[in-house]
Structure 1
Amino acid sequence: MNLLGKKNAYLREAHERYMRPVVFKRWTYPNENFDRHTYQKGATILNMLRRILGDAPFRSAMTHFLTKHAFQPVDTHDLIDAIKEATGENIEWFFEQWIYRAGHPVLDVSYQWSKPAGRLSVRVRQTGDVYRTPVQIGVHTPSRRYSETFWLESANATLELDVAEKPLLVRFDEGNYLLKEWTFEKSTEELVYQLENDDVIGRMWAASELGDHPAVAETARRDRFWSVRRAAIEALGEKASVELLREAALDENSKVRAEAFRGLGETKNTELVPFIEERFRRDDSYVAQAEALRALGAIADPSSKTLLEEASGIDSPRDVVGRAARWALSELSELDDRSNE
């Protein structure tokens, strides 16, 4: 989950601001390079490097690098050399495409299964720059689950697997190692199966693809892992029922409760104000409390003013509760200004 968050943070920056190489020598102020390309993208690149080298060789290379250059200034070439010295692997190609080049793979994925041949063909089209990278294909059939690893090395690739039975699920990049943007069109039937049977990342992705399908609402209530429940509520968006959101506001996980409060705020329903205020007072999570206050600000009912003023003085890490309360009060103030015009 931590790495997924880092990938998404980098991709948002890449879409909303800019794309640059990780190693980049142009800036107005040095601190400009302390961004999501350096940290979040850098972390995901290290994880991909670990997968390519293997856990033990990766640890050996990192130990050698840190020991050899202890208390010394270093650059990227020192790391490349240390990896080669520790593992015998020349990994310059990896750094060239991931560190010295801007961007990331953009993929269009599809598949076909041939019953007579008992073959599964997974087609991968790289619509941007071509990346050389391993990718794991997972397959669920009625009788077994298995996976194979392939290398992508061209703009268009067809990956062939022996699959005797019709697949229930074809998973591209099983394990979610690859930093990527991608499209993978699937049937509703397969997505519902994936939502119920895949790993956490796969279930989250299936929820986002299914949107307001009834199975997503059930997942929001019943899935065994909190991030899938939260992803399901987010996928439902404005289609999430008030009943579901009220249930989710009582979830055992604070991040699910926070997502539920966000949804309740978007309803603009003033009848929910007493419920949200009660949950704010009972919740033991600053993050969830802050979202409850933002929900009150989004609804902008004047009856919330007393609680918001009280909450604006609550101490919390990074003042998360106070800032949310003051934002909500500003929403109430804007409403008053508009009504007096």
Structure 2
Amino acid sequence: MNQLLKRSLLGVLMGGMAGLSATTSLMAQSGKAASDDPALKIYRAAATKVNDLVHTKLDVRFDYPKRYLYGKAWITLKPHFYTTDSLTLDAKGMDIHEVAIVKGGKNTPLRYSYDSLQLHIQLDKDYSAKESYIVYINYTSKPNELKVKGSAAISDAKGLYFINPDGTEPNKPTQIWTQGETESSSVWFPTIDKTNQKCTQELSMTVPKKYVTLSNGKLVSQKNNTDGTRTDTWKMDLPHSPYLFMMAVGDYAIVRDKWKGKEVNYYLEKPYEQYARNIFGNTPEMLTFYSDILGYQYPWVKYSQITGRDYVSGAMENTTATLHGEFLQKTDRELLDNNNYNECVIAHELFHHWFGDLATAESWSNLTVNESFADYSEYLWLEHKYGKDAADEHGYDAAMSYLSMVQYSGDKHLVRFHYHDKEDMFDQITYQKGGRILHMLRNIVGDSAFFKSLNLYLKSNAFKATEAHQLRLAFEEVTGRDMNWFFNQWYFGQGFPELDISYKYNDNKVTVLIRQIQKDAKVWQLPMAIDIYSGGKKERHQVTVTNRVDSFTFAYTTKPDLVNVDADKVILSKKDDHRDFSTYAYQYAHASNYLDRRAAIEAAVEEQGRNPEAVKLLVQALKDKYHGLRTLAVSSLNLKLPAVKAAVVPALAEMAKQDPSTLTKAAAIKQLGDLKDVQYSALFEAATKDKSYGVEAAALEALSDLDLSKAYGIAKQLEKDTKGKLVSAIAGIYARQGNPEDVAFVATKFDETSGQDKLNAAFDYLGFLSKINNTAAVQHGVDQVKAMTEQFRNGQVNTYISNWLQEIARKKDGDATAVTGKDSDSLREQAAYMRKASDTIRTAIKE
């Protein structure tokens, strides 16, 4: 599963709330003290296996008006080890019509009890581990009548979703799709809904002929029925876990591809058919790349990807049939500003087909063996396809996401046997921290041993349930080293080191002093490289930090220009590195890693107001080979400083016109726009015709500060093809222009946005509402956002929205004191409406 929401939320909040004063306080308020939570005292063991699933055969049809599934299930099982005369199946919120044992083609009724969550069946006799048996169940699934709770990563847990089933919602297709993770497959078919169960599968779906279907495995038959329906049968011959079962139904275009003779198909809504290969086209190359580096060929019969409207998560690695949120459907123009994000999602879900689908976490406590690997696969793909700079930037963002979460929510173990709810495992620890830990492990053992260990782990645990200790054992067998120290420290412990680094030079020696200053008593063992640059040469020293205070002394003949601690920049930590700016200038020019250059740029940003050498470094950084660092440098310039302005403005003007990266170009335009200099009007106006929505948005905003009337006219022209940041830019101009007729555009755009993209749009929309004094528009907008919170039911996001509504209400009350009469009354009325909506959202969260 891709953690789209968690990954983007912090950035959305920071950007969307920039105009308000309480970002930190709002985020802090969302945290909940858990020290007294009794659920945290429960040891979350792997599920006990009494019976094992062997095969699941399903025959289903759909009642669109009622949002029901009518199903028949034939489930083949056998006792795991001990003889048993009973069976318990997970079956959530169903009507159970018949339960029988199948023998000789005949059904014999069985006694059972049902509590709306589990089906307890008394078998017809004692069965030993050598005997298999088939249970038949006739049932009705009622997902919309089931009251369930999702999580921050998976915003709903109904299992089966009917999207616009009556066709009454304009601009939204009619679809059906499923979401099994964590334990929601048992909403639409009876099963043992645990990760440590695996079975083969056959699924027959009866649907209107106009729709296509997708499920796991191979489409083995299609039969047209006399009532205008068609029955499609999909068969999965290799075992996988119930949470990975899926089905999807809808009016999709299918764009067909191949890899080594296997089907690789892309299912999209028809308006996006023409963009399919730009969206998914690197999938065959990914299949080759991952198969090669793992030494384990993609094991499944096909690989299809499909999009789903109003999807409740980022994406889901259903075996052979990944389901993506509709955010993945982008036009060529949108992909210009995507910065490989789509590909990271695609890579993440594909890599799960080895780590998660083939070798599966035996319990949610061990989710790291699924999700940490999928997170790290994004790094591996970027490194392969776009170079180490792109991968290291992604890794840096992942580390910052984890460290930011810890600041507000506290830390937890990576392998976690105590949690409030299994959904809590889907966090920045399991994903981003876990990915960074794998990166450290790769650095410690070396590439050859790392990938050979992964190969051994996969071969040893294929089609099985597994845990972190089995990963450790694979690394120990390949490397010949005891790895308990690493796993105990990073997998079965929490926290991260905080390092204070200082240097002492005397007698042709340099001593590097590394102090661990983290507050907890834990002392970390940290293998690392220290590179010493002296006399035009680099000498590497491998050291291991093992104590609270360690020192390492190195001799030299020429005083070093740079001593680079953790030279590979792999250790997940906070560092306070005490050295002169001259070493950073040297570092930028001579240490090639992305993180080396980034640290030098950040040091120059701090020094740009008092050190001419820092300005020179920033000028150099504007020509960095990697667009991400060019963008960082551009965005960090302080043009209020005369020396900086004089040194960089000519370069910025050129970058604003022709930098190959749309992200860098937009950043340059924003910086020039902040100057509010009419000499750049023509440049900004020309850039409003750029293919990139982001560049258009930056140019339009810059132009509006010089000539609001002209920018307003251009905004009206751009309305017909407006997405992403351009919507926000136009909304900002309309807020300033104050034309009541334009409010409809912003409201309509919000309505048109769906899925998790709507979460981002909500923060932009609230920002717009905070700037206007139009009571009817504000109330309508607040109602729209409130309706979104009711749809997504995501406690974390809804808490942020509730808090922000309170903050905007305070701002409007403050604005009301600066005006009189009707304007003041209107602002106070809007504030009151926002507070009421905030209270309603908060009450719903508690429920």
TM-score (norm 2): 0.36
Equivalence for 1:112: 504
- Quick check: 1:141 aligned with 2:576? no
1:336 to 772, 777, 782: 772
The one-letter code sitting in structure 1 at the alignment partner of 2:623 is R
Equivalence for 1:54: 446
**Distance in 1 separating the partners of 2:728 and 2:513:** 44
Pairwise CA distance, 1:268: 9.5
Q: 1:23 to 1:258 in 2, by over 3 A?
A: farther
Equivalence for 2:560: 167
Q: 1:328 to 1:104 in 2, by over 3 A?
A: closer
Equivalence for 1:302: 737
Pairwise CA distance, 1:78: 1.5
Going by fraction, where is helix more abundant, 1 or 2?
1
The one-letter code sitting in structure 1 at the alignment partner of 2:511 is S
Deviates more, 1:300-309 or 1:331-340: 300-309
Rg larger in structure: 2
Pairwise CA distance, 1:84: 2.2
Secondary structure of 1:224 counterpart: coil
The one-letter code sitting in structure 2 at the alignment partner of 1:202 is D
Pairwise CA distance, 1:282: 0.6
> CA contact under 8 A between 1:308 and 1:325: conserved in structure 2?
no
Identity %: 23
The one-letter code sitting in structure 1 at the alignment partner of 2:444 is I
Note the alpha carbon deviations across 1:163-205, whole angstroms, 9 max, x for none.
Answer: 2111112211111111110011221222222233322321110
**Distance in 1 separating the partners of 2:653 and 2:411:** 40
1:193 to 577, 582, 586: 586
Secondary structure of 2:396 counterpart: helix
Equivalence for 1:18: 410
Deviates more, 1:59-68 or 1:329-338: 329-338
Equivalence for 2:625: 224
Secondary structure of 1:252 counterpart: coil
Secondary structure of 1:186 counterpart: coil
Which ranges of structure 1 fall in alignment gaps of 5 or more residues?
none
**Distance in 2 separating the partners of 1:294 and 1:261:** 16
- Quick check: 1:86 aligned with 2:478? yes
- Quick check: 1:77 aligned with 2:495? no
> CA contact under 8 A between 1:113 and 1:121: conserved in structure 2?
yes
- Quick check: 1:66 aligned with 2:458? yes
- Quick check: 1:177 aligned with 2:612? no
Equivalence for 2:661: 253
Equivalence for 2:236: none
Deviates more, 1:63-72 or 1:221-230: 221-230
**Distance in 2 separating the partners of 1:86 and 1:149:** 21
Deviates more, 1:219-228 or 1:123-132: 219-228
> CA contact under 8 A between 2:439 and 2:570: conserved in structure 1?
yes
The one-letter code sitting in structure 1 at the alignment partner of 2:772 is D
1:152 to 527, 538, 545: 545
Equivalence for 1:4: 396
Note the alpha carbon deviations across 1:101-129, whole angstroms, 9 max, x for none.
Answer: 11111000011222xx3212111001123
> CA contact under 8 A between 1:277 and 1:292: conserved in structure 2?
no
Note the alpha carbon deviations across 1:20-47, whole angstroms, 9 max, x for none.
Answer: 1101123333221111110111111111
TM-score (norm 1): 0.83
Secondary structure of 2:772 counterpart: helix
1:132 to 504, 512, 525: 525
Note the alpha carbon deviations across 1:209-231, whole angstroms, 9 max, x for none.
Answer: 22134134313422222222122
Equivalence for 1:102: 494
**Distance in 1 separating the partners of 2:463 and 2:492:** 25
Pairwise CA distance, 1:323: 7.6
**Distance in 1 separating the partners of 2:559 and 2:744:** 57
Secondary structure of 2:466 counterpart: coil
The one-letter code sitting in structure 1 at the alignment partner of 2:476 is K
Q: 1:307 to 1:221 in 2, by over 3 A?
A: farther
Q: 1:313 to 1:34 in 2, by over 3 A?
A: closer
RMSD, aligned CA: 3.7
Secondary structure of 1:73 counterpart: strand
Going by fraction, where is strand more abundant, 1 or 2?
2
